[in-house]
């Protein structure tokens, strides 16, 4: 029984790793399609490649994704879509997906909302609860004033990244200022780990105990889905 359990664990871990690699490859493919195959002139692609390498994606996987996205290789078209709805206890949720089968993904996302006593909504049913922003995560050695750094690069606000290492900060800026802020941070000695358009909740819902656990379980199931790219929720961390 012990050997069987270990085999099951290894199989589950292998499946999770495979799903993660698929997500990285899709992001690379989409980035290459949107901005070209040269990472020197495509910051989204460059960051996607860096993230894939950190997750131990092979060079072959990365190269194939770039070639598929830029049209050098044939491959299934990947669509970027957004779903909105309410999760457990009225928490607003936006799910960004990258999929090669829109009908399948829509059906499966709807089922996850329903299973967790939520409801998938129409376009703009939840988006009004969020601001569209540029979001950049970075780190910088030495001593500095985060607020001053934000002002100097044209960001609207900055906060310490609670979900990452202690020296990581998250900068928020207007959507059209993404590249300007990224270049500004890099020029001031910051290592930019991610730079993307995102959604920032205007007001967050504070839950505790079983209610929060129910929402977290729902968000985790959404995140584990093979087509999920990003999730945004009005839940206090």
Condensed to tens digits (0 to 9), the pLDDT of residues 41-54 reads 998 999 999 999 99
Task: Provide the pLDDT for residue 11.
Answer: 45
> Mean pLDDT, to the nearest integer, of 2-23?
60
Between residues 144 and 75, the one the model is more confident about: 144
Residue 9 has pLDDT above 60, yes or no: no
Residues near 69 by Cβ (< 8 Å), separated by ≥ 6? 28, 29, 30, 31, 32, 33, 37, 78
Which of these, 237, 235, 201, lies nearest to 118 by C-alpha position? 235
User: If you compute the radius of gyration of the chain from its CA atoms, what whole number of angstroms results?
Assistant: 19
d(C-alpha 127, C-alpha 230), whole Å: 14
Question: Nearest 5 degrees, angle CA 85-CA 28-CA 154?
Answer: 70
Q: Give the number of other Cβ atoms within 10 Å of residue 74's Cβ.
A: 7
Closest CA to 102 of 94, 91, 112, 110: 110
Can you give the pTM of this predicted structure? 0.84
The residue length of the chain stands at 237
């Amino acid at each position: 029984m012990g050997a069987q359990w270990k085999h099951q664990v290894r199989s589950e871990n292998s499946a999770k790793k495979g799903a993660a690699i698929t997500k990285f490859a899709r992001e690379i493919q989409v980035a290459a399609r949107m901005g070209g195959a040269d990472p020197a002139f495509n910051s989204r692609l460059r960051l996607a490649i860096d993230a894939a390498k950190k997750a131990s994606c092979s060079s072959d996987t990365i190269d194939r994704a770039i070639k598929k996205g830029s049209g050098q290789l044939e491959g299934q078209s990947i669509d970027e879509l957004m779903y909105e709805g309410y999760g457990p206890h009225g928490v607003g949720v936006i799910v960004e997906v990258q999929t090669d089968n829109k009908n399948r993904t829509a059906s499966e996302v709807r089922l996850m909302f329903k299973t967790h006593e939520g409801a998938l909504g129409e376009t703009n049913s939840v988006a009004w609860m969020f601001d569209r922003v540029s979001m950049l995560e970075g780190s910088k050695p030495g001593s500095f004033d985060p607020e001053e750094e934000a002002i100097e690069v044209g960001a609207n606000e900055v906060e310490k990244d609670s979900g990452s290492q202690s020296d990581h900060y998250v900068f928020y800026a207007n959507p059209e200022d993404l590249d300007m802020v990224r270049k500004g941070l890099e020029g001031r000695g910051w290592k930019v780990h991610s730079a993307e358009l995102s959604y920032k909740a205007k007001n967050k819902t504070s839950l505790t105990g079983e209610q929060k656990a129910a929402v977290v379980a729902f968000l985790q199931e959404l995140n584990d889905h093979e087509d999920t790219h990003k999730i945004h929720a009005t839940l206090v961390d």
